[in-house]
């Protein structure tokens, strides 16, 4: 079995800025990630029975009761084909008052039910205090490999993922919501990256991104500016327009409007990988600040440029990491998503003089 490793560890240039210690979203203090992966059966598709290639990923911005102590948040929709829930409230109010869950398209409601149960257990006053939580569940379509009609992710799986959430380094590739995902017609999944940012007074902050990568045509795939997807010998078959969900965290004291600006820049990172955000692709970026500062303590807008750079770099690297760390998977009806062939990819980069 070919060893899977990150492009950074192979010497590929991933940008100008320094990465955090683990180079993933949990470099942001307090952020925790949990997964439930469901892999069952093989052979022909029998709707409701399998084969099953799916899961759920939970992201907790900080170890507090978010319903009582919400975070500021901003969200950008690059392409609105997705079926995520909880977006309008964040757009209107600029806050996040629940964990973030990722899963497949037809399991959104089951996962939402699990999150509701989790929050009700934490907060006996919900329903009696004139407030309700805004449930956030974001999705991609894993039906090329998975029996998506079977809705095999259940409410209890969401609760388990929430209870499993822990600090990193996180697992990447074929894990959680990424189990059945495809990216550039190769095996995709969960990827993550981080960047360290220093403000004008010398204070250092972290920007972390987690990607659920499930989009794109092989011919569009770029790595370090090289059209690798047009040269690879691996077949790119069975295209189903997918989606990209990017979840960003930072401990910087940013306003909801500044977080919107950061979320908007994530599409530039997606573009670095070759995506054109196709019509059938639902592409979102949710940015969250874990910093509980007061209004007057926000960073100046003039200090945001390095945060923009961090988001662009970490978004691109998180997608590349999902590809490099995913493994070949066979799913329903003999459908196969091949892992990115690392040695062939490196040779292409050498031929283009992009790698020693």
What is 143-177 written as a DSSP string?
TTTS-GGG----HHHHHHHHHH-B-SSPP-BSSGG
Let me know if residue 139 belongs to a domain.
yes
Q: For residues 13 and 237, which has the higher predicted lDDT (pLDDT)?
A: 13
The whole-angstrom separation of Cα 243 and Cα 81 is 8
**Cα first-last separation, the chain:** 25
Would you state the torsion angle of the CA atoms of residues 58, 61, 62, 63, taken in this order, to the nearest 10 degrees?
-10
Let me know if residue 2 belongs to a domain.
no
Judge if pTM exceeds 0.75: yes
Domain of 349 in residue numbering reads as 7-355
At residue 238, the pLDDT reads 77
Instruction: Mention every residue, 6+ apart, whose C-beta is less than 8 A from residue 350.
Output: 356
**Residue 293 binned pLDDT confidence (cut-offs 50, 70, 90):** confident
Coil, helix or strand at residue 41: coil
Instruction: Read off the pLDDT of residues 219-268 as tens digits, 9 standing for 90 and up.
Output: 999 999 999 999 999 887 777 768 999 999 999 999 999 999 999 999 99
- In the set 107, 182, 194, 243, the catalytic residue is 243
Let me know if residue 217 belongs to a domain.
yes
At residue 356, the pLDDT reads 74
- Which ranges of the chain would DSSP assign to H, the alpha helix? 87-93, 108-122, 155-164, 256-272, 305-325, 342-351
Number of domains forming the structure of the chain: 1
Instruction: Read off the pLDDT of residues 52-88 as tens digits, 9 standing for 90 and up.
Output: 999 999 999 999 999 999 999 999 999 999 999 999 9
For the chain, what percent of residues have pLDDT higher than 70?
99
| Strand blocks (E) in the chain | 32-40, 52-60, 71-80, 95-96, 100-104, 136-140, 182-183, 186-187, 189-198, 204-214, 243-250, 282-289, 329-330, 336-337
Let me know if residue 321 belongs to a domain.
yes
Let me know if residue 1 belongs to a domain.
no
Active site residue 9: no
Q: Give the CATH number for residue 296.
A: 3.60.70.12
- In the set 192, 283, 289, 315, the catalytic residue is 283
Instruction: Read off the pLDDT of residues 187-201 as tens digits, 9 standing for 90 and up.
Output: 999 999 999 999 888
Instruction: Mention every residue, 6+ apart, whose C-beta is less than 8 A from residue 93.
Output: 134
Instruction: Read off the pLDDT of residues 90-143 as tens digits, 9 standing for 90 and up.
Output: 999 999 999 999 999 999 999 999 999 999 999 999 988 878 999 999 999 999
Instruction: Read off the pLDDT of residues 297-343 as tens digits, 9 standing for 90 and up.
Output: 899 999 999 999 999 999 999 999 999 999 999 999 999 999 999 99
- In the set 107, 192, 267, 281, the catalytic residue is 281
What is the sign of the dihedral through the CA atoms of 225, 230, 235 and 240? positive
Active site residue 243: yes
Decide: 206 and 196 in contact? Cβ < 8 Å.
yes
């Amino acid at each position: 079995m070919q060893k899977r490793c990150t492009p950074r560890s192979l010497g590929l240039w991933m940008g100008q800025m320094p990465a955090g210690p683990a180079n993933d979203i949990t470099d942001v203090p307090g952020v925790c990630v949990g997964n439930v992966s469901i892999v069952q059966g093989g052979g022909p598709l029998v709707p409701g029975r399998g084969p099953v290639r799916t899961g759920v990923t939970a992201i907790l911005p900080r170890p507090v009761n978010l319903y009582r102590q919400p975070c500021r948040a901003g969200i950008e929709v690059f392409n609105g084909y997705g079926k995520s829930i909880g977006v309008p409230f964040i757009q209107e109010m600029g806050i996040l008052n629940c964990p973030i869950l990722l899963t497949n398209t037809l399991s959104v409601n089951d996962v939402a039910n699990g999150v509701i149960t989790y929050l009700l257990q934490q907060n006996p006053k919900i329903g009696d205090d004139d407030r309700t939580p805004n449930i956030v569940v974001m999705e991609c379509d894993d039906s090329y490999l998975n029996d998506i009609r079977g809705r095999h992710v259940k409410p209890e799986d969401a609760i388990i993922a929430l209870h499993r959430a822990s600090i990193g380094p996180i697992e990447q590739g074929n894990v959680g919501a990424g189990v059945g995902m495809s990216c550039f017609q190769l095996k995709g999944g969960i990827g993550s990256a981080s960047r360290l940012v220093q403000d004008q007074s010398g204070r250092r902050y972290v920007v972390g991104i987690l990607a659920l990568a499930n989009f794109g045509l092989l011919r569009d795939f770029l790595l370090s500016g090289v059209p690798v997807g047009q040269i690879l010998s691996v077949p790119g078959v069975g295209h189903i327009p997918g989606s990209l969900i990017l979840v960003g965290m930072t401990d910087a004291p940013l306003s909801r409007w500044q977080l919107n600006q950061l979320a908007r820049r994530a599409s530039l990172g997606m573009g670095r990988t070759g995506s054109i955000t196709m019509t059938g692709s639902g592409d979102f970026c949710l940015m969250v600040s874990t910093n509980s500062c007061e209004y007057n303590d926000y960073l100046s807008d003039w200090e945001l440029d390095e945060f923009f750079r961090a988001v662009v770099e970490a978004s691109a690297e998180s997608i590349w990491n999902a590809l490099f760390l995913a493994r070949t998977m066979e799913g329903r009806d003999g459908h196969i998503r091949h892992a990115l062939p690392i040695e062939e990819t490196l040779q292409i980069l050498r031929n283009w003089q992009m790698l020693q």
